[in-house]
Structure 1
């Protein structure tokens, strides 16, 4: 859990005691490639910190075509955020693209810390603002940039990821076909 401790220390000036309390809510689990952390139509209550591995958030349309929304990599939090915050069913799936080691906690138990540890509420706000900014940036890029520009941004923001996951996942994330991605890569 040292990775989680180090990550928390980069976000806010927590005391040693605050970090110990926060970390005490987490337990380590292992998920295999293709395992699901969250499934569409189910309720989620867990927040996880990825110690090792790669996951994707995606949804399926009515004909079963999958669209990758985002990727989660090591040293990041992952959750079906709309489900854990609204207590509604998941709209997305979160699946492992590699074997993953996660530190998992119940989100509602973590929020119970807010009253006695206001820094944790600040942490939640900081994380929500950060996730929103990333989401907004990505949405703008999808409608304003050419595929080659989106691919360049992907490579910069996710260095080495294309060597770990299937190319069709990257194509879906970029909003293009695998054939288009092959052409873009051939030109680089």
Structure 2
């Protein structure tokens, strides 16, 4: 498990003083399995650092069908990023699939550090750039790759998740039905 200070400092070198100010903004919180970090329609105010557990990010259409967009595992930040930046209602729901230990801070408090700690702002920029690249790669996968290849990429990105979460969540993330996932898994196990 990688802690908050180690992860943030790995993004870009950060002074001990800035890192201390940054980490003091966070307080520990436990999400039980099924709890939400943020829901749709909510205006995001907080950002979290996932220390342990699994969180899924998903959206729900007008017919109440859910589509998994991403899985979060340590080390990573969670939160309604678009809502935090724009102040508009969140659309991507984040729910704990297992018990999760997180560190939570008010996003405005972090932004206030930028003036006096440019190294914190630089780390935040690097993190935003990483999110952008991840999002673009995911969009390309969904559009250009077949389900078998997307499953292979999922297995490399999240090797431990198949044993820890229901298969229908994985199928939703891959953009296929659970039956299709079962066929892919059966075909791959026969190799």
Tell me whether the two structures share a fold, i.e. TM-score over 0.5: yes
1:9 is displaced (CA, Å) by 2.2
- List per-residue Cα deviations over 1:107-157 (Å, max 9, x = no partner): 011000000001111111111111010000100110110100000000001
C-alpha separation in 2, matches of 1:21 and 1:110:
9
The aligned residue for residue 35 of structure 2 is 35
SS at match of 2:95: strand
Gaps in structure 1 of 5+ consecutive residues: none
C-alpha separation in 2, matches of 1:2 and 1:18:
19
The aligned residue for residue 59 of structure 2 is 59
Q: CA contact under 8 A between 2:14 and 2:120: conserved in structure 1?
A: no
SS at match of 2:3: helix
SS at match of 1:112: helix
1:2 is displaced (CA, Å) by 7.1
The aligned residue for residue 112 of structure 1 is 112
Matched, 1:48 2:45: no
SS at match of 1:33: coil
SS at match of 2:123: helix
The aligned residue for residue 26 of structure 1 is 26
Structure 1 runs (4+) greater than 3 angstroms displaced: none
C-alpha separation in 2, matches of 1:58 and 1:156:
21
If the length of structure 2 is used for normalisation, what is the TM-score?
0.96
C-alpha separation in 1, matches of 2:150 and 2:2:
34
1:104-143 equivalences in 2 (<5 Å): 104-143=104-143
Q: CA contact under 8 A between 2:2 and 2:75: conserved in structure 1?
A: no
Matched, 1:164 2:164: yes
Q: RMSD across aligned C-alpha pairs, in angstroms?
A: 1.2
Change (3 A) 1:75 1:2: closer
Gaps in structure 2 of 5+ consecutive residues: none
